[in-house]
Amino acid sequence: MSELYDVTIIGGGTTGLYTAFYSGMREMKTKVIEYQPDLGGKVSFFYPEKKIYDVGGFLGVLGDDLVADVKEQALSVQPTFVMGQKVGAIDKQEDGTFVLTSLTGEKHFSKTVVVASGLGTYDMRPLDVEGSHLYEGKHIHYTIQNLMQYTGQKAVVISENRVGVDWALALEDVASAVHLVNRGSEFKAVYENDVEKLKQSGVHVHMEAQVEQLEGTGVELAGVVLTNGEYIQTDHLLVYEGLQIDKSLYDQWGLATEKGRIPVGTDMATSIEGVFVAGDAAIFPSKTMLIASGFNEAMAAVNSAKSFIDPKAKSQVYSTVIYKHLE
């Protein structure tokens, strides 16, 4: 951990992964620190089985496939990955380098930093039902990753959000039965065409209901009891009841913020010299919250980091140079 890196990227989502790739192309020693146990960020959590249309060159690409491709791209330049760590402090040293300290005390040393952690670190809200901890991981899930594990299985999705609707519609193609339980009287932040798809699907929708009790052995889940007394046999529960988001880290790191995000110019430089930002964490005039935008910002941030380390370096590298390097 005492090794000094040229660039340390905070965040292992699609923007962070592409930042790592481009940093490698600029021949900088690169480390990625990710809070979650897996790479992929919000795309892996929320859109693994949903098509994404804002990335050039793809007429719609599944979230899981996009993450796999960007991860493979990043791995080609051999960055160092550190998983399951949350950066609690970024301290600039007298020599201009940085020490990043995780909440568990690990220290990471870097010449520059790129923040690619989106709107902050987040955890899924856990299912608040007695005994749920007994089934988490095997029968209770907070993401729909690895869709094929539900083939021929009975699934219950618990959500009042568009994410839950997406999950239920995706599961319908592989599961033997799908139920969607919504505590409210309508779905939140959902598109009209998705509501229509839901009506035309074979998903069993339960409105104004909640899971009150889990039925099973404590090892194997058999079913759930709803607040209206209805019993549903199920093998798996998929839960999306919102996020617990920590946006305060940017302030703790000493960065200037604006409504929980980091204001930057076209060079993606933050208020701390040597710290740059890319992706949803950044805010500037005409900012778009698209995955493709994060890739462009990643290149700008890395080019700025390269110039910060070596003012005589080229301001950017071109695609033909990158491809030659890969060959």
Does 280 belong to an annotated binding site? Answer: yes
Does 47 belong to an annotated binding site? Answer: yes
Print burial letters for 195-233: b (CB count within 10 Å at least 16), e (below 16).
eebbeebebebbeebbbeebeeeeeebeebebeeeeebe
Does 86 belong to an annotated binding site? Answer: no
Query: Which of 164, 169, 170 lies closest to 182 in space, CA to CA?
Result: 164
Does 18 belong to an annotated binding site? Answer: no
Q: What is the DSSP string of 259-297?
A: TTBEE--TT-B-SSTTEEE-STTEE-TT----HHHHHHH
Place of tokens 């790739």: 21
Q: How far is Cα 178 from Cα 281, in angstroms, rounded to an integer?
A: 35
Does 80 belong to an annotated binding site? Answer: no
* Helix, strand or coil, per DSSP, at residue 199: helix
Does 5 belong to an annotated binding site? Answer: no
Q: How far is Cα 208 from Cα 198, in angstroms, rounded to an integer?
A: 16
First to last CA, the chain: 31
Q: Does the CA dihedral 164-57-315-318 come out positive or negative? A: positive
Asked if residues 212 and 132 have their Cβ atoms less than 8 Å apart, the reply is no
CA atoms within 13 A on the CB side of 2: 0
Does 95 belong to an annotated binding site? Answer: no
Binding residues: 15, 34, 42, 47, 87, 280, 320
Binding residues for FAD: 15, 34, 42, 47, 87, 280, 320
